[in-house]
Amino acid sequence: MELKNKTWWRLLLAGCLCTLLCTCRIEYKFNGSNIDYTKVKTIQIDNFPIRSAYVWTPMQSIFQNRLTDIFASQTKLKQVKRNGDLQLSGEITAFDQFNKSISADGYSSQVQLKMTVNVRFVNNQNHDEDFERQFSATTEYEANLQLTAVQEELVTQMSKDITDQIFNATVANW
């Protein structure tokens, strides 16, 4: 009799656990986005032209590709040309280099490269989230190197930093 009682309790416990596991749902988002997909379905990302004094033409396409890629890979938003629920526009406003440190012989030993992008964000579902803001990233390189030798790698790195900042400010709400 006692064996039947233990078996019955075990079956009851297993049934309760199965019911609990089947009815509860835990959802994790690892991309950090905070989007209500019932209201927001599309994003419009306009071209970001270069408006800085120093122009390196590939910079625009590196930045633009990274910006569209981050929204494509980390959200379910459909990218559209016009009338998006979310709209991103702006321009690359600065691409400058500065001497960061001086060596003992009086020459520059490190150069700092800075990229700044002005962004206008419009959320057509909630205009309280609209903003216009500047995002910047910096990186350094050794002064004995020519900028042309390291420019692509550094611009790619700064574009990643800036697009991460834009993503967090627009859809991650950090």
- pLDDT at residue 30 greater than cutoff 50: no
pLDDT digits (tens, 9 = 90+) for 88-135: 999 999 999 988 877 777 777 889 999 999 999 999 999 999 999 999
Report domain extents, the chain. Answer: 34-172
* Tokens (6 digits) for 142: 């050794």
Q: What is the mean pLDDT of residues 166-172?
A: 93
Residue 93 is predicted with a pLDDT of 97
Percent of the chain residues topping a pLDDT of 70? 81
Question: Is the dihedral angle over the CA atoms 46, 86, 120, 65 positive or is it negative?
Answer: negative
Residues with Cβ < 8 Å from 45, sequence gap 6 or more?
64, 67, 68, 71, 79, 88
Q: How far is Cα 162 from Cα 152, in angstroms, rounded to an integer?
A: 15
Residue 33 is predicted with a pLDDT of 64
Residue 70 is predicted with a pLDDT of 96
Which architecture does CATH list for 34-172? 2-Layer Sandwich (3.30)
DSSP H or E segment with residue 113: strand 108-123
Residue 133 is predicted with a pLDDT of 97
Residue 169 is predicted with a pLDDT of 94
Q: What is the mean pLDDT of the chain?
A: 86
pLDDT digits (tens, 9 = 90+) for 60-95: 999 999 999 999 999 999 999 999 999 999 999 999
* Tokens (6 digits) for 47: 């071209």
* Beta-bridge mates of residue 119: 90, 133
Q: Are strands 86-102 and 108-123 parallel, antiparallel or unpaired?
A: antiparallel
Residues with Cβ < 8 Å from 16, sequence gap 6 or more?
none
* Tokens (6 digits) for 39: 């209201």
